[in-house]
Amino acid sequence: MFALAIVLLLVCASVFVNGWTDAPNAIATVVSTRVLSPKAAVILATIFNLAGVFLTGTAVANTTAKIIEIGTGQDALVTLAAAQLSIVIWAVSAWRYGIPTSESHALIAGLMGAGISFKGIEAFNWDEFKKVLIGLVVATVLGFIAGFVVTKGIMFLFRGVNRHKANTFFSWGQIFSAAMMAFSHGAQDGQKFMGIFALALVVGGVYPQSDQIFVPVWIMFLIAIIIAIGTSVGGYRIIKTMGMDMVSLEKYQGFSAEIGASACMIGATVLGIPLSTTNAKGTAIMGAGAARRLSNVNWNVVKEMLLAWALTFPACLVLGYVMAKIFNYIF
């Protein structure tokens, strides 16, 4: 039980870091356009993160929990612990420099690296991993396209509207779109971590093994609350990078980015495809900025973000592998 308790604590630490470094992506634009204060945006994110966790089923949770097949017992718990620690190390390192990274990819890569250390390549569930690859394309490519297309459409539809009236409309619109982004984040990242939390309870022998991961309500509530606490503690650095440094957004662009990204994320959630909030929102913001003019986007910041995204998967895979080797040696 001691080993299980350590794993659950590390999962909670990973969830906290997700709120600290990843959840702010959902509210970055509504803060940067000054529609909501950071405090009000965090409250909004808390409510709709919770709704996203509760109201969207467990399809993504099951996909995440099935990425690796490690069985049960002490060695399997060590594998999960190593994966969670690798996420914390990578995410905090990136946060130190204000660089948004994908905790979704960090989680999956950490699990895969730790799984390889434990059972070799046989630990992979390739059918579920295909969904991760699809999610990578959806988040990166469709996120940009959605942000670009929605922005262009709004520019056309509102071309003759008084600027003050348009800003008033999109101020209210951004509250709605930010709520949708937070809901989408709960549906995606909340599900991923509640899937791993429930998997730990199965691996530890608390819940029986089955084809579908059982996620009780108390786990959903716990994950949503920890994400909210993490967001309130350390989110502003990421909000600044995503919503201010990369692109100087007007209200209609913030609305467009949030609508485009949340549409991609909710669609993926229904299909059980794990998607990165950071990638979806980040590329949607790029698309919204580029729709007005390419020079609106700070491409130096984009390069830093893309480099961090590219490094996340291999870095966390190696970290997960190394941590699992160290843990197995110690325990």
Task: Round to whole Å and give the CA distance between 241 and 237.
Answer: 6
106: nearest Cα among 280, 305, 282, 320: 320
235-254 tens-digit pLDDT: 566 565 555 555 677 889 88
Q: What's the per-residue H, E or C state across 204-254? A: CCCCCCCCCCCCCHHHHHHHHHHHHHHHHHHCHHHHHHHHHHCECCCHHHH
At 125 the pLDDT is 81
Closest CA to 66 of 234, 192, 218: 192
Cα separation, 174 vs 324, whole angstroms: 43
> pLDDT value at position 263?
92
Examine the pLDDT at 119 and tell me if it is beyond 80: no
> Does residue 33 contact residue 88 with C-beta atoms inside 8 Å?
no
From 111, 77, 71, select the one nearest 200 (Cα to Cα): 77
The pLDDT mean for the chain works out to 83
Task: Look at the chain and count its residues.
Answer: 331
Are 247 and 253 in contact, with CB atoms under 8 Å apart? yes
What was the pLDDT predicted at 234? 61
Structure tokens at 310: 């590219």
291, 296, 297, 298: CA torsion to nearest 10? 170
Residue 273 has pLDDT above 70, yes or no: yes
**pLDDT given at position 103:** 77
Question: Could you give the percent of the chain with pLDDT greater than 90?
Answer: 11
Mean pLDDT across the stretch 182-196?
88
Average pLDDT over residues 6-13: 90
How many Cβ atoms from other residues are within 10 Å of residue 120's Cβ?
9
The predicted model scores a pTM of 0.85
Contact 26, 182 (CB under 8 A): yes
The rounded Cα 312 to chain-centroid distance in angstroms is 13
What is the model's pLDDT at position 281?
83
Tens of pLDDT, residue by residue over 134-188, are: 887 778 888 899 999 999 999 999 988 888 888 899 989 999 998 998 899 888 8
| pLDDT classification of 220: cutoffs 50, 70, 90 | confident
CA 331 to each of CA 77, 79, 224, 325: distance values in angstroms, whole numbers, following the listed order: 11, 11, 31, 10
- Select the more confidently predicted residue: 57 or 314: 314
Per-residue model confidence as pLDDT tens digits over 32-54: 778 888 778 878 887 888 888 88
Q: What is the pLDDT of residue 144?
A: 92
Who wins on pLDDT, 176 or 65?
176
Residue 274's φ and ψ, nearest 5 degrees, are -65, 130
Q: To 10 degrees, the CA torsion angle through 195, 199, 200, 202?
A: 150
Most confident stretch, 94-108, 119-133, 153-167: 153-167
Question: Could you tell me the residue ranges of all domains in the chain?
Answer: 2-330
C-alpha to C-alpha distance for 199 and 2, rounded to whole angstroms = 16
What mean pLDDT comes out for the span 114-141? 81
Instruction: Say if residue 88's pLDDT is above 90.
Output: no
Q: For a pLDDT cut of 70, what percent of the chain falls above it?
A: 93
Q: What is the pLDDT of residues 284-318, one digit of tens each?
A: 988 988 888 887 777 887 787 788 778 888 888 89
pLDDT at position 238 is: 59
* Dist CA 238 CA 91 (whole Å): 12
DSSP code string of 59-99? HHHHHHHTSB---SSHHHHHHHHHHHHHHHHHHHHHHHTT-
Which residues are CB-contacts of 211 (< 8 A; sequence separation ≥ 6)?
none
